[in-house]
Amino acid sequence: MSGPVDSAISASIEDVPLWYHTLDLPGGVVTPGWFDLRGIVDKLPWPDVRGKRCLDVGTYDGFYAFELERRGASEVIATDIGGHSEWDLPVAERELAANALASFTGEKGLGFEVAKRALGSKVEKRIVNVYNLSPDELGMFDVVVCGSLMLHLRDPVRALEAIRSVCNSWFMSVEEVAFDLTFRFRRRPVADMRFEANPTQWWVVNAAGHSRMIEAAGFSVVDRFGPFAEPFGAGHSARGKNLRSRRRRLLRTMILGGDGVPHNSVLARTRS
C-alpha cells in the first residue's frame, strides 16, 4: 500500500513550483528545498517544547512548525502572510516584485498544505502578518520560533515586539547575518542595507545586531549558536562560478563549517 501513497505524495510535491524548505515526508520522499536545515536543526538552542503551546512565525513550507510538533509540542500554530502581494516590499518595487514572486514560486503556502497532508500533521496555520500578532487573536505561547524572516521586514524590531506580545517565556530566533560585518564588528551592532539590490530584503544585521534587536524588543538572550552556514538544498539555483564567488564560498566554508547562507541563532526569554 506504500507505493501508491508515495506516488501521490511525489505528484503533490511536483505541484509546488518552488520549495523553500527541505522536508522528509513519508515513504522516503524528500522535498527539493532551496535550503536544507536537517543537518543543523539539532545544533540550534532549542528550549524544551514537550507539552507546550508553540508558535512558528513566518512558517513558509513549515519546517520549524513540523519540527515543533515532532519534538512533542501539545499544540502548534503556524503563521504567514496570505499571498505575495503582502510581502513587506519597497513602494517602487511592490507590484512588480510581487508578480515576479508569484510567477517564480507559485501559490503562497501551497508547500505547507502539501506537506501537512503528507505528514498527517495537526499544525494549524493562521494567516497573520507578523506585525499584527496579538494575544487577542492568537492567545499566548510558551515557545515561539521564527526563522529567516527579519531580513525581509522594513521594521524588524517592531516585528520582534509583536512576537514578544504573544510570548510567555521562550523565543528562538534563527536569522541570516552579514558575514563580513559579523567578523569585523564582533561587539558592535551594525547592519547591511540591501533593499536597493534585492527588493525582498531590507536589513541584514551582524550577529551582535541580531542579539541587540531581540533585547530591544523586550527579551533577555540566554543562549546562542553560530554563526553557522544554513546549507543550500537540492532546489537552490546555481551559485556564482567566477573566481571571486568561489573564493568567498571557500572562506565561508572554512569559517562557518559549510557552504550556505550565514545564519545565527539565539534563545531568549521574555523579561517581566
pLDDT tens-place string over residues 18-58: 999 999 999 999 999 999 999 999 999 999 999 999 999 99
Nearest CA-CA partner of 74 in 162, 172, 143, 147: 143
pLDDT for position 5: 46
pLDDT for position 197: 81
Domain of 182 in residue numbering reads as: 2-270
Largest CA distance in the chain: 58
What CA–CA distances, in Å, run from 222 to 45, 56, 166, 174? 10, 20, 19, 14
pLDDT for position 6: 65
Decide: pTM greater than 0.75. Answer: yes
CATH number, position 27: 3.40.50.150
Counted domains in the chain: 1
pLDDT for position 1: 35
Residue numbers of the chain with a pLDDT score lower than 50: 1-5
pLDDT for position 238: 63
CA angle, corner 204, sides to 203 and 205, nearest 5?
A: 110
